[in-house]
Every structure is written in structure tokens, then in C-alpha cells.
Structure 1
Amino acid sequence: MDRMNPLDAAFLQAEDEEPHVSLAIASIAVFEGPAPTAEEFRATLAGRIPLIPRYRQKAREVPFDLGPPVWVDDPHFDLDDHLRSTALPAPGGDRELAVLMGRVMSARLDRDRPLWEYWLVEGLAEDRWALISKVHHCMVDGISGTDLFRIALDETPEPRAPAADDWQPSAEPSDLRLVTAAALDAARLPLTSARALARAVRSPAVLARRTRDTVGGLGALVTALVPATRSSLSGAPSPERRFAFARTSVADISRVRRTLGGTFNDVALAAVTAGLRRLLLERGEVPTAHAVRTLIPVSVRAPGTESVRDNQVSLLLAELPVHLADPGERLAAVRQQVATVKAEHEAEAGAAVVELARYGPFAAVAATVRLAAHLPQRSVVTVTTNVPGPRTPLYALGRRLVEMVPYVPIASRLRLGVAIFSYCGQVTVGITGDHDGAADVWSLARGVEEGMAELLAAADGPASPAHGP
């Protein structure tokens, strides 16, 4: 019986408070054909499931919020409950695949079972097939979710041997046992907190620096939470989702970086900014300096913890300069904005808040999450996440993985979400849209590609000094 950390629990509880929202993350893995049979697909996954214990556990909430939700073995686990097969209609292109993804991600995962699904998709153009992996966000973040692919897939065309499996589910705990365990944990909280404080004060200089950074970061986050300029980009989401995606390459992003400066993420954000600017203009709206504040997840994982199935992320809140028409100026403004919020230690403050939540009564933490879910937030307009993927090819049943497309969920008045993923030199940008409020997601996708083309043109133009800090 494993307890969720506060951030894992928050994703589960936030979904409870928004009945039309699914907080699962996902990806589309596209392989060279021919597609395996459903039986081959099942047999391969059956040989990998022992390596992912969480896939045979379900989430149980503790009565009265006396403690965080826990992971318990599912005594009725059946692999077939989590495997789906379907085929795309002709011609089996990007649009058809995106429509399927929107439909798959509109449905919530069954809370009475382990919170994941795999979809085998046939009928892709060019003799290809796809695997949609859908996992609840309370189970993994982007980094640990990517690590799941390294387990489910192979690093060579030769498949690995199936893992030994002698799994027998532990008895599912009763509500009384959950309450009793939570009460014991609560009784130990003062001692646990005292030990944590004792460890902290052993290094006064480190404690002082962390306190300073946390206080400064919290101040920056509070300042950033002023309402964004009203636009059609935000509003109450409907139950269904749309999906689209754009493509670029690591080589193109590197070309822009070498000439115009900035990080990989800066350049990608500048291209996304161009797409959002185009979207607003096509909707007949004026892009203003404060129209798009985006939440940028930041990994706080220690090296070597990718296989830990939980969430270890913090956040930055950045204004995307959609008001700027010049691509070079947009990139410079993105660089400046990201550098500023990093210097203000927003990520450190967010991580500290999550860490402190471990040492407080969970009922208070849960009540705060539920209250926040009902507040009419108008500060964050979209989420933009960037996850680095494998740099070397992966395979499934000897078929090479040729492309991976990421999906990020949306909630809390967000009508658009953007996920950026790199794999083997390719970069895909997955765009999640609300079905009713973002019917033009493909316009945003094309805008991202055009924004990247503008950056490349600026980089290939007359030599000029790099913009920004």
C-alpha cells in the first residue's frame, strides 16, 4: 500500500471537482508496419507488466480525507480490461488520427481499475500503425511517463524475453484499515516534521538561501496571478476534446539557437507564441501583451529517479509575447520572460509548497485543492510543457518507432494546452483543444509550424547579434 504524494493526490482530487474533465496524459507512438495482431500485442504487454507494478494497482481514497489516496493491488486485475483495438477510416492520415485521439482522451479512466489504457490503432497511411498510451496524471508526470516507453518497448529490433511473473495481489485493505493507517501517520507527523526541521537547520546557509528563494518565488507567483486580458482562449471547458499536432526538428531549433540565441525551450515557446498570435488574429481579436499567460511545468526530479511513478514537477508562469509581429523580437521577449521568472525562483517556491504539504494534515491540503478547483481562475490561459524523449530508436515487436506525439490535459478554464516532445531528432507539438471552444486547433498547429519557419528565415537572414540576455 503506497501513499500518493500531495501533487499526485491533487491531480486526482482536481478531476473529482470538475466532472467534465479527464486529467490523463497520453501519447501517440507511430510505428512502421505491418501492425501486430491483437494477440501479439497482448502477449508482448503481458511480458512487460511485471516491470510496471503500478499498472496492477488502483487508487483508493481514504475516508474523510484523513490521509492521501493510496495505491493498492487490484485483486481483479485483468489485462484485457486495459487493451483496446481500433482502425482509422481512410485515408488514415494525421486528421483521422487526431480525431481518434480527441475521442479517446475525452473519456475518463475507470476509477475502479488501474488508471491506464493502451490502444492498438491500425489503418494508418504508409503501412503504419500506432499505439496510444493513456495514463492518469496522478500516476506519472512527463518524465516518468516517458520512462514507461523504455519498459514497454525495446531498444533493438529483437524483442526482449518476457519478464518472470509470480505476482499475487495483496489483500485489498478495508476502509477501517485505511483510516487506522492514516491516523497513525497523522500521529507521527509532529515527529516527522521535527526530524525534517532538524535536518534543515544543520546547514544554516542552505536553509537561509532556500527560505529567501521560496519567499521571493511566492511573491513572484502571487504577482503573476493577476487576471490575464480576456480573450476566447480561456473559458469553461466542455466534456469533449479536439486534438492536432505540428512538426519540426531538433536540427531546425538548433539552427535558430546558434544564430538568434536562447535555449531549446525558448525557441519552441517562440514558435508556439507565433501560433497563438495567428489564432487570435484569425478569430478577429487583438493580441495584447498580457493576453496569454502560460503555465510551464518544470521537472524537479533528482537524476536517476525517472522510474519512480509519481509527479515531481513545479511550475513557472510566463507571459507569451503574442503582441509582437517580428519573430526575432518574439524570441528575444520569450527569452527575457523565461529568464526573469527563473531568476525570481518561482519553480523553487512551487516545489517548497508541495514539500511542506507532506508535513501538514492531509484534510487541510485536500480542502485547499478542492477550494482552488472551484475558484474562477482567470490568470492562466494555457499550459505549455516540454518533455525530452529518447534520442535513440525504440521498437515494438521488431517494428521501428518513427514518431511520438504528446498529449497534455486541460482543465480549470483552459481551452488549449500544448505539449512539446523530442524523439530521435524529431520534434512534435501536440495541441489539446476544448471541443466547443477551440474548434480551430489545426490552425494553431499550422501557426506553430509557420512560426518556426519565420524563426528559421530570421536565423538565415543577415547576421545580427543574439537578442536578449
Structure 2
Amino acid sequence: MDELTALASGFLSAEDSDHRVSLAIGSVVTLDGPMPDFDSLLSNLGERIKTCPRFAHRLRSHAFDHDAPEWVDDVDFDVARHVKRLSLPSPGDEHELHRLVAEVMAWRMDRSRPLWEIWVMEGLRDGRWAMLLKVHSCIAHAVTIAHIVAGLSDEGIHLAPGGQLDSARRGEQCDVRPSASSLNPITWMRGLWHVSKDVSRLASAVFDLLPSSATTPLNGPMTNLRRYSAARVSLDDVHQVCRVFDVTVADVALAALTDSYRAYLIRHGHQPSAESLRTLMPDNASAMLALLPVDDADSVGQLRVVHSRLSRARHAGREIGSAANHVPFPVAAWAMRLLTRLPQHSVAAVVTTASGPREPLHIMGRRVAAVTPVPPIAMQLRSGVAVLSYAGDLFFGILADYAAVPDADELARGIESAVRRLVARSKRRNPTRDRKGLSLVVSA
């Protein structure tokens, strides 16, 4: 069977290093009513789950980490064990939905079974209902979550574009790519031949990107409780900003986060500095690190700096992912465990971005009204933000430590306000004055 990549295995190591964290990611799918009969829904989902064969596999680890964990068939697989049912308390509003999502996402999944769950949530206001898709990060990242949601729909997986918000990639699959490490002596000799160069390249890339950030309320020890909130903005508005300032959708999303986090720091009595907020941006193949310009009070200035820094961070992220996957697994596993246990103040938040289906989806004839992502948090990163485009809107999902970030809703509202300010600025600007050699890339 397939082995996990070094980065995917790192998600397991990060979870093992702190019993208070769960490295699951998710998506809240809100649907128009009425909700179908549960048994019919279960049967329907069971058939569509087959589009992602990984959902019938469980993990098998090796003693002493002599090789990467691998996927094997779960001989006792039963979809009914993974699809669960909950009812929201009255009044069934967004606050109650988010509270329940936060509670479910805090629970760890059983590694002796396939690492996914679907929670069917009844009792939403206006006759709506929801499904929370919960998948471990070692199986899927933000892009494949969008594919899985599309695969569960009546329209099918072909509607999911399958890329980052500013990427042209297509055809991402649910499966994790196999790694090459094993205890075969020839493989080990090849690995040892390259290990010095690869470890040096990996360390150089990491230390170049990790000057110490200022201590903020956003990093530190966490509890085992979570808060969840969400924001929603029009993609037409975002595209308006992209056209005028020649930036990407991901740039606009990160600039809006910058503005909201800046307001958060000020509310908590911290003067934002140039080193206050470095973000980790992982996907299934690499991890980028980008320092957000929370020290800049000007929204357009934030946008320009974000665009420049993301361009540089993408290249460095590919180097880190490539180097990690060439190091023999026992070395990579030891390094990942060490890194996840070290106290760190260099990274303050985790952010993921992905493109979802451009057209509305349906499940058993019910329209999918919203698809809101849920990021993971770990390694003393007390907040995470996931960004997903769907059917003409851009959705932001915020997961935060319950005690450390009591105003997650304020972060969400701050994102929406920041986008409104950028739209207003774009309508007052002369596009020819603001291009400054930047390139337009819009794929969401």
C-alpha cells in the first residue's frame, strides 16, 4: 500500500506531541431543506464515498519509525461508523452551528479506523441542515477537501477545480503520494548519499524563513476546547480588487486577514510590529511561511506587501517540501517530532487557501447554500484560517483556542470589513497608477 509523505507524517507527529490538539481539517456544508430521510442519505453517501478509496483505508505504523506509516485496507470498514447525526439546539442559528462545529473538531479521531467522519446536523433555522466533513490532515489538505465535497454531490467530482486560489493546477486526487524510503540497503545507501545535502537545504530554508516573531496572544499553550467562526464575501468584489491592483485572490484574502489580525492585536493591547504575525501555509506537498504586514495601517499597502511576500514564500515552500521528502523517513520522523515539541514564537497562525466548485452543488436534490472550511491548529498556534471559494463567494473559516482567542467572531467580521475597504479603495483608484509591474492571476 501507499506510504505517507514526510509532510503528511509530520501532521501525525504534531498531533502526537500534544494530547490537546486534533489535526483534522473540515468543511461545513450548509444545505436547503428539507433534510432527506437519514437512512436514504446514509446509503447515498456510502455510494459516493467510493470516489475516494482512501476513505476505506486505515493507517499501519512501523515500530521505531523504521519506515513511514502506510495505508492498508480496513477489513471491517462500515460507512455507518463514520456518518453520525446531531441536532442543533434552538434557535438553530449560525452561532449554535459554529459552537457545535468547534466541539466536534476538537475531538480526536480513532487511528485504528479510517480517519474521516461526516456529522449530519439537523435543526438549522429556515428549515436548513448541514453536514460537517471531518478528515485528518494526513489524508487531505484544503484542495482535496474541495474535491471530496464535490464528490459527494449530485454533480460529481468533475466540478471541483482542484487548486490553490492562485494556482492553475488541475486533477488533485484524494490519495497521498507514496514516498520512497524503506529499509532496503540499496535505498538506504541512496538516501544517505543525498541526506547531507537535503538536510542542509531543508535547514537553510527553514532558518532563513524563521526569524523570531514578537510574542502575541496568538501563540502559546492551548486548551482542548475550540471556537469557530466564519466570514463570507463576494468573489465579484474580490475580483474588482484584483483587476485594479493586479494581485491574486489569495493576496486579497491574506491582506484581509492582515487587517483583521492587526485590529485584533490592537484590541488586546499589542502594538503590531513587522515581526508580529508570521503565518504557516501548508498543503499536501509543501509548506510556505509568510510574514503578514500587520504593522502597516494602510489596506492597499498591506495588499502590495502581501503580494510580494507570497511570491517569495511559494518558492521557499517548494524547497522545504522537496527536501523533506528526500530525507530517509527515520531521519525525517525524528526531525518532525523534535520540531513539534520545541517551544516556538516564530509562527503565529496557520492559513490554508483553495478553489472550490464555481457552480452551485446539490446533494440528493438539495442545494448546497454554503461551503465553509475548517482549518486545524497545533504547535502552539492558537488560531487558524481556511479560505475556500464556492459558487461566487469566498468563505473564511476560523478555528481558535477557546481560552486564548475569545473574540473569533470579531476576526471574522474584521475580514469582511477589510474586503469592503479594499473594494472602496479600488473604486477610487486609477488602475494605471497602481499596477507597478505586478501580474494578475485569478483562478477562483
Normalised by the shorter chain, which TM-score bucket?
0.7 to 0.9
For the residues of structure 2 that align with 1:152 and 1:221, how far apart are their CA atoms? 38
Which residue pairs with 1:403 in the alignment? 370
Aligned: 1:110 with 2:110: yes
Unaligned runs of 5+ in 2: 157-179, 439-444
For the residues of structure 2 that align with 1:348 and 1:220, how far apart are their CA atoms? 10
For the residues of structure 1 that align with 2:205 and 2:325, how far apart are their CA atoms? 19
1:183–1:456 distance in 2 versus 1, CA, 3 Å? closer
Which residue pairs with 1:257 in the alignment? 242
Q: TM-score, normalised by structure 2?
A: 0.87
Aligned: 1:234 with 2:222: no
Q: Which amino acid aligns with 1:383?
A: V
Which residue pairs with 1:332 in the alignment? 304
SS at match of 1:71: strand
**Structure 1 residue 144: Cα displacement:** 2.0
Which residue pairs with 1:208 in the alignment? none
Note if contact 1:245-1:405 (Cα within 8 Å) is conserved in structure 2. yes
Query: Which range is displaced more, 217-226 or 240-249?
Result: 217-226
Aligned: 1:323 with 2:295: yes
Q: Which amino acid aligns with 1:320?
A: L
Q: Which has the larger radius of gyration?
A: 1
1:450–1:384 distance in 2 versus 1, CA, 3 Å? same
Out of 310, 313, 318, the position equivalent to 1:348 is 318
**Structure 1 residue 217: Cα displacement:** 8.4
Aligned: 1:371 with 2:338: yes
Q: Which amino acid aligns with 1:420?
A: V
For the residues of structure 2 that align with 1:217 and 1:186, how far apart are their CA atoms? 24
Q: Which amino acid aligns with 1:138?
A: C
Unaligned runs of 5+ in 1: 157-181, 198-210, 300-310
1:147–1:192 distance in 2 versus 1, CA, 3 Å? farther
Q: TM-score, normalised by structure 1?
A: 0.83
**Structure 1 residue 111: Cα displacement:** 1.3
Note if contact 1:217-1:346 (Cα within 8 Å) is conserved in structure 2. no
Out of 254, 259, 263, the position equivalent to 1:274 is 259
Which residue pairs with 2:233 in the alignment? 248
For residues 396-432 of structure 1, give each alpha carbon's deviation from its aligned partner in whole angstroms, at most 9, with x where no partner exists. Answer: 1111112100011011110111110001111110001
**Structure 1 residue 467: Cα displacement:** 5.8
Aligned: 1:415 with 2:419: no
For the residues of structure 1 that align with 2:429 and 2:134, how far apart are their CA atoms? 46
**Percentage identity across paired residues of the two chains:** 36
For residues 287-315 of structure 1, give each alpha carbon's deviation from its aligned partner in whole angstroms, at most 9, with x where no partner exists. Answer: 11210011123x5xxxxxxxxxxx3x212
For the residues of structure 1 that align with 2:127 and 2:247, how far apart are their CA atoms? 39
1:216–1:452 distance in 2 versus 1, CA, 3 Å? farther
SS at match of 1:14: helix
Q: Which amino acid aligns with 1:347?
A: G
**Structure 1 residue 377: Cα displacement:** 1.5
- How many residue pairs match? The answer is 411
Q: Which amino acid aligns with 2:98?
A: A
The RMSD of aligned alpha carbons is 2.4
Note if contact 2:182-2:188 (Cα within 8 Å) is conserved in structure 1. no
For residues 59-111 of structure 1, give each alpha carbon's deviation from its aligned partner in whole angstroms, at most 9, with x where no partner exists. Answer: 11111212111111222222221111112122222211110110000100011
SS at match of 1:353: helix
Which residue pairs with 2:347 in the alignment? 380
Q: Which amino acid aligns with 1:314?
A: S
Q: Which amino acid aligns with 1:189?
A: T
SS at match of 1:386: strand
For the residues of structure 2 that align with 1:107 and 1:449, how far apart are their CA atoms? 29
SS at match of 2:126: coil
1:33–1:183 distance in 2 versus 1, CA, 3 Å? closer
